[in-house]
Chain A
Amino acid sequence: MSANTTANATDERTRLEALWERDAVKIFVAFAAIYLVYAAIGLALGYSLDGIVNTLRRMTYLIAVYGMVTLALNLHWGYTGLFNIGVAGFMAIGLYVTMMLAKPVDPTGAAQYPGLGLPMPIAIAGGVVAAGLAGLVVAIPALRLRADYFAITTIAFAEIVRLGLTSGMAQQFSVFGAELGTGGGRGLTRNYGDPMNVIFELEAFSSFVDLTNALFGFGPTQARALAYSIVLVLVLIGFYWLIQRTSRSPFGRVLKAIREDEEAAQSLGKNTNRFKIKVFVLGCALMGLAGILWRFRRTGVTPTAFRPHVTFYIWIALIIGGAGSNTGSVLGSGLFVAVLFEGPRYVRRLIEEVVTVGDAPNTFAGAVGPLLSANPAPFLRYTFEEFLTLQFVLMGVALVLLMHRRPDGLLGHREETAAAIPLADRPVAETGAGPRPGGTDSDRGGDSQ
């Protein structure tokens, strides 16, 4: 009897393990855990339902955006070994071009710059194409460089984009007679309708608003934000699908080979430069799209949104999840946002809720000094005041630990199949002893028994 239960238990165990092997399950379990923790803390603190759901919504939005860019970066670094540290630059080009194309031709108000007044879908497509073209411009000369010089080129490019947008030079200019502008340091204001209006103006959307109102007590603004996050999650799924398909194909196989040994891949007849350019352009276009979706609903954009730390956030997410794994990229983004990005803010609010923190000293000396007289309170208050700066320390510690304990990241064992079909076992030839379907060359390369 007891032997039977043990057998059942092991059976159950193997079944659970087999289930865990599935990528979707891994992602689902991890995200359910993150959301449950956040919701539980919110409930414990007695937050209202709409507040909790709104927190989760904001997190979903961030995870979706980070997930998209991390997937695109995984295509560059994880699969092909292209060290792109100019991610923010390509995101900036996507968003800026989209806004410049969508802004009305005749600006009203003094601080406004004219645009081309194109409809939103065309403006988005334009932004994506522009980011891809920027990738092409960088790739053609830079891919001849060694990996480290390539990295320097990409970050230099991103900084050129950001500083170019900041400078007054391109504040307003004309192309073929049409007036355009980047707005310089003041940036661009979205003086046109919400880009999601296509969805918000649908008949069905009003019932969605009613539904969220009934469920969570959401107002129309919150309902719109929720719909926006849902759309982003759908786009993230699209990204995942696209990149998964790209990597599980003969094309993806060549990418992997380039990462492993480019010269050997060339000697086997692969024109590696063409593959590198194609994949770099594709990844940059996807980064552009993610950049657009990240901020296109905001009231405006300034170049400061695209400082290099955006790039490094994406890299941290990729390293956590494990380069080379698409599931890892999404998982890494989730953990990055939940623990390293939103975590400290949430904890800070939590502490504020529980204890009243007094005034913090203004200087570090003022914080450390009282420690000598065994009075830790000023130091703790100071630490609390600087909590968001601590975020960077936390990220650093997380990276060091990860590099030390698990340099491959959570899922980066580089085990994803690089073929359009599963390669588990030898397929059984349907025709039995007869000639195999692919046998045109087997008389030379194969066994000539």
Chain B
Amino acid sequence: MSDTTTEQSDSLTNERPDRPTDDVELAVDGLVKRFGGITAVDDATFEVESGSMTGLIGPNGAGKSTTFNCITGIYEPDAGTVTFQGADITGIRPYQCAEHGLVRTFQIAREMANMTVLENLMLPAKRQRGEALWRSVLPVTRREVVREERELLERVWDTLEFFEIQHLAAEKAGTLSGGQRKLLELARALMTDPEMLLLDEPFAGVNPTLEKKLLEHVHELREEGYTFLIVEHDMDLIMENCERVIVMHQGSVLAEGAPEAITSNERVIEAYLGGEV
């Protein structure tokens, strides 16, 4: 384990190829979400740098998942703004969010259980012409759709290869193990050709071997220029792998900074160990 840690910290210092480092990919400003009398997210403000891997941590009920849901359009925030690559995306619909290049995975993997792994991965590709009913039905345009499908299938196989899950291609997604489903979710999110990935507890319930593999994939992708925001409960994992950490507590941002600064932050320690959780 310690070996991989040094390797990973090496890769963290690598220069990201195609992006200036001081770019802000995602900015959340004064986000508020109430459910009846409960304020789940209370004036949360933070930024995620382009090409970075940022961790979002906090005790249970801190509002992490609700924040994710507000960013990706599943919930409409009561106040505040969400800006992605300079564009205001507050309150947009989930599918529009993905069209912008901001794609999420879910805390509990939500694979399409009765579809095969291949079908799961062919689904997300953007701008599929065959998604127009008439093109898929009419004989002349159908030929074009078939050609596009062949190209897409090639891409899907490349992705399967990258995640080393070719052997699962024809399986129904519902028969995969918990860890394999998490891999599939990540792979599926990548098939949308995103700019930034929001991963909601991607390592929960994943065995250590698969976790290591999943982490390697994430690092590899980060080096290719993707931005990551990761919600995770495993503090060590976040501290070892993220260059920036955001701590949420009771709906707002408690602390923000480099892992070392966070581990020594007294308010964070109090929130996790002693304070009113």
**Do A and B bind?**
yes
Residues on A close to B: CB < 8 A? 242, 245-246, 249-254, 256-257, 259-261, 263-272, 275, 278-279, 282, 324, 414, 417-421, 423-424, 426-427, 429, 436-439, 441-442, 444-448
CB-CB under 8 A for A418 and B115, given A444-B193, A445-B159: yes
With the chains together, A269 CA to B131 CA distance in Å?
12
8 A-B pairs with the lowest CB-CB distances in the bound complex, closest first: A446-B158, A269-B98, A438-B151, A249-B136, A250-B130, A260-B112, A266-B94, A268-B124
Residues on B close to A: CB < 8 A? 72, 74, 93-95, 97-99, 103-104, 106, 110-116, 118-119, 122-124, 126, 128-133, 136-137, 142, 145-146, 148-155, 157-159, 161-162, 166, 169-170, 188-193, 224-225
A363 to chain B, nearest CB (A): 51
Point out the residues of chain A lying under 8 angstroms from B111, CB to CB. 261, 264
B150's partner among A275, A421, A444 (CB-CB below 8 A) is A421
A446 to chain B, nearest CB (A): 3
**Is the CB–CB distance between A420 and B130 below 8 Å?**
yes
Point out the residues of chain A lying under 8 angstroms from B159, CB to CB. 445-446
**Is the CB–CB distance between B136 and A260 below 8 Å?**
no
A281 to chain B, nearest CB (A): 10
**Majority-rule SS of B interface residues:** helix
**Is the CB–CB distance between B94 and A414 below 8 Å?**
no
Residue of B nearest to A421 (CB): B149
**Is the CB–CB distance between B123 and A438 below 8 Å?**
no
**Is the CB–CB distance between A447 and B162 below 8 Å?**
yes
**Is the CB–CB distance between A423 and B158 below 8 Å?**
no
With the chains together, A245 CA to B143 CA distance in Å?
12
**Is the CB–CB distance between B193 and A448 below 8 Å?**
no
Residue of A nearest to B110 (CB): A264
Point out the residues of chain B lying under 8 angstroms from A269, CB to CB. 95, 98-99, 103, 124, 126, 192
Residue of B nearest to A444 (CB): B224
Point out the residues of chain A lying under 8 angstroms from B97, CB to CB. 267
Between-chain CB contacts (< 8 Å), 15 pairs? A250-B129, A251-B136, A253-B122, A257-B112, A267-B74, A267-B94, A268-B123, A268-B192, A269-B99, A271-B95, A424-B170, A427-B150, A442-B155, A445-B155, A445-B158
A81 to chain B, nearest CB (A): 10
**Is the CB–CB distance between B133 and A282 below 8 Å?**
yes
**Is the CB–CB distance between B170 and A423 below 8 Å?**
yes
Point out the residues of chain A lying under 8 angstroms from B152, CB to CB. 438
Point out the residues of chain A lying under 8 angstroms from B132, CB to CB. 251
With the chains together, A352 CA to B124 CA distance in Å?
61
Point out the residues of chain A lying under 8 angstroms from B116, CB to CB. 423
B183 to chain A, nearest CB (A): 14
CB-CB under 8 A for A427 and B153, given A250-B131, A267-B103: yes
**Is the CB–CB distance between A436 and B154 below 8 Å?**
yes
**Is the CB–CB distance between A268 and B158 below 8 Å?**
no
Residue of A nearest to B193 (CB): A441
B153's partner among A251, A256, A275, A421 (CB-CB below 8 A) is A421
Point out the residues of chain B lying under 8 angstroms from A245, CB to CB. 136-137, 142
**Is the CB–CB distance between B170 and A267 below 8 Å?**
no
**Is the CB–CB distance between B130 and A263 below 8 Å?**
no
Residue of A nearest to B162 (CB): A447
A250's partner among B118, B145, B158, B161 (CB-CB below 8 A) is B145
B169 to chain A, nearest CB (A): 7
**Is the CB–CB distance between A445 and B190 below 8 Å?**
yes
User: Which of B142, B149, B169: most chain A Cβ within 10 A?
Assistant: B149
**Is the CB–CB distance between B145 and A420 below 8 Å?**
yes
CB-CB under 8 A for A256 and B136, given A251-B131, A269-B124, A441-B193: no
A255 to chain B, nearest CB (A): 10
**Is the CB–CB distance between B112 and A252 below 8 Å?**
no
**Is the CB–CB distance between A446 and B124 below 8 Å?**
no
A191 to chain B, nearest CB (A): 37
With the chains together, A448 CA to B17 CA distance in Å?
14
B126 to chain A, nearest CB (A): 6
**Is the CB–CB distance between A257 and B136 below 8 Å?**
no
B224 to chain A, nearest CB (A): 6
Point out the residues of chain B lying under 8 angstroms from A272, CB to CB. 95
